[in-house]
A and B are shown apart, each in its own frame.
Chain A
Amino acid sequence: MYNESRQYLKPESKLADIVYNNPSLLYVLEYFEVDYILQDKTVAEFCAEHNIDANLFTTVSNIYNGFVAESKLEFGVESIPLIIKFLHNTHAYYLNEKYPEIRNFIDELRKVNSSTEIGIVEKFFTEYYAEVNEHLDYEDRVAFPYINALYNKYIGADSEPLDTSFSAKVYRKHHTDINYKLDELKSLLIKYISVREDRQIRRRLLLSLCDVESNLYAHSVIEEQILMPLVMKVERNLNKVKKQ
C-alpha cells in the first residue's frame, strides 16, 4: 500500500533497489524464508544462491507489487514444495499477526464508538474470520498435504494411495467469498458508518484491512494461477502413467 511508484521486477533488476522502493516485497522474502541482506545482487543471482526459480520469484514479486499476472503462467513442477512452503508462511502471517491485530482494532473501536453499527461490524468480522479460518485450515489440512503427497508420488518417493477429498472448486469458492466480505467491510467503514471520536483508530483499522486485503489477494492469485495449474499438470501426468 505504500508503494506508490511500483516497479516491475525483472531477473536483471538489482533486488535491493526494488525492495527499497517497494516494501511489499519484504513479505515475499519472508514467505520464501530468505533474509534480506541483498547487497548488490540481481534478482537472478539472488535466486540462484537461494535455489529459487528466478522466474517464479519474479512473478510472485510482481503479483505482490500489484501487477496482474498474465493469464498463462508456466513453471516447473519442482517448484511445488517451495510454493506450498510460501503459502503456508502466508497463513502464519494472517493467523498469528494480522487477524489478531484487526480484532484488536475493532475492540478499541467499540470502546470509543458504542453505536449499534460498530457492534454489527464486530459480528461481521467474527463471521468473516470463522470463514477465513475454515479456508486456511482446509488448505493446511487437506489441500497442501494432498499436493505434497501428489508431488512425492510424481517424483517416485511415495507410493501410498492419495486422499481424494481435495477439490479445486471448493478452493476457489472460498477465495471469492473471503475477498468479497473483506471488501464489504472496508466499504461500510468508509462510506456509511458515522465517525464518533474514532478517526485515528478507524484509520489504523482500515490500513490494516487494506494490507491484509492485498496480501490475501496475492495469495489467491498465486494459488489459482501458479499452484493449481502445476497440480493439474502432475495429476494429468500421473493418470497417463497409470493408463500405460
Chain B
Amino acid sequence: MKQSDKETVRTGILEPSAIVVNGLSNILLKAGNFDLYKIDYVADMQRYITANKLQVIIINPQLLQQSAKELAHLKQKNPDVVWCALVYSFFDPNYLNQFDLQIPITDSPTDIVEAIRSKLNNETADTDLSMQLSDRELDVLRLLAQGNMNKEIADKLNISVHTVISHRKNITQKTGIKTQSGLTIYALSNKIINI
C-alpha cells in the first residue's frame, strides 16, 4: 500500500535544542499529518520506536556520538524506520551518508516535508493493512472460537491445514490476538459467535 498524503506519519525527534525542536515540530504539524514524539534520551529511543510503531526518526547526528557503528546497529534492528539526520553543523560525510535522509536545517518547510514523505513511500512495503476480516477468515475464526483444532477446521471448510494456518496468521495480524482463548473473547465481544 502506498503511503498517501493523508496518512499520519509517526515520527520521533531527538534533538537537544528546544528551539530547534519547536521550530521543526511547527513545520511538520503545519503539514498536517505528523504524529510527533519528542524523545529525550537516545537510551529511550528503542522503546518509543517499538511502543509507538514509529516510522521516522529525526535525530541530531551529534547524539549518536558520530558513531557509524551504533547507527548501523539501530538501522539493522529497525529496518522499516526512515533515519533522518538533522544537519546544522559539520559532520563527517561518510557518517552522514549512513542515514536514509539528510535534512539540512536551511531547507524550506515544503522541501523537508516532501523529502520525508517520498523516502517513506520508497520504504513502505506492499502490505495490505486492512483490518477487516474476510468472510473466509470469519469462518475460520468462528470454528476456532468453538474449540476446533486446525485439522477439524480444515475438514469442515474443505480446505487444507496449510490454508487454515495461513488464515490464522492473517487473523492474528489484523486483530493482534494469537491465543485461542483470546480469539474466542474477540469473537464473542464482536458478536461473531454466541455462546
Contacts and interface: CB of A to CB of B under 8 A. Distances in A.
Interface of A: 8, 62, 66-71, 115-117, 120-121, 123-124, 127, 180-181, 184-185, 187-188, 192-194
A217 to B, nearest CB: 10
Given A8-B41, A184-B179, A184-B182, A192 B190 contact: yes
A124 B184 CA distance: 11
A67 B181 CA distance: 32
A68 B189 contact: no
The SS class assigned to the B binding surface is helix
Interface in B40-71: 41, 43-47
Contacts of B190: 192
Nearest to A6: B44
Contacts of A67: 41, 43-44, 47
Given A71-B73, A124-B181, 8 more contacts: A8-B43, A68-B44, A124-B182, A124-B185, A184-B176, A184-B177, A193-B185, A194-B189
Contact of A188 (B41, B43, B185): B185
Contacts of A181: 179
A66 B44 contact: yes
A68 B46 contact: yes
Given A67-B41, A71-B73, A188 B47 contact: no
A192 B45 contact: no
Given A71-B73, A187-B176, A127 B44 contact: no
Nearest to A193: B189
Nearest to A180: B178
A188 B186 contact: yes
B47 A117 contact: no
Assign chain B's interface to a size class.
20 to 34
Nearest to A189: B185
B181 A117 contact: no
Nearest to B42: A70
Contact of A68 (B45, B181, B182, B195): B45
B188 interface: yes
Interface of B: 41, 43-47, 73, 176-179, 181-182, 184-186, 188-190, 195
Given A68-B46, A116-B188, A194-B189, A188 B182 contact: yes
Given A184-B179, A192-B190, A70 B185 contact: no
A92 to B, nearest CB: 27
A116 B189 CA distance: 10
Nearest to B194: A116
A62 B185 CA distance: 36
Point out which of A69, A71, A180 has the most chain B C-beta atoms below 10 A from its C-beta.
Answer: A71
Contacts of A71: 73
B74 to A, nearest CB: 9
B176 to A, nearest CB: 6
A184 B47 contact: no
Nearest to B46: A68
Point out which of B177, B179, B185, B188 has the most chain A C-beta atoms below 10 A from its C-beta.
Answer: B185
B16 to A, nearest CB: 14
A117 to B, nearest CB: 5
B182 A66 contact: no
Contact of B177 (A62, A70, A116, A188): A188
Given A187-B176, A193-B189, A123 B43 contact: no
Given A67-B47, A192-B189, A184 B73 contact: no
A68 B47 contact: yes
B43 A70 contact: yes
Nearest to B49: A68
Point out which of A8, A68, A70 has the most chain B C-beta atoms below 10 A from its C-beta.
Answer: A68
A215 to B, nearest CB: 15
7 contacts: A66-B44, A67-B41, A70-B43, A124-B182, A188-B185, A188-B186, A192-B186
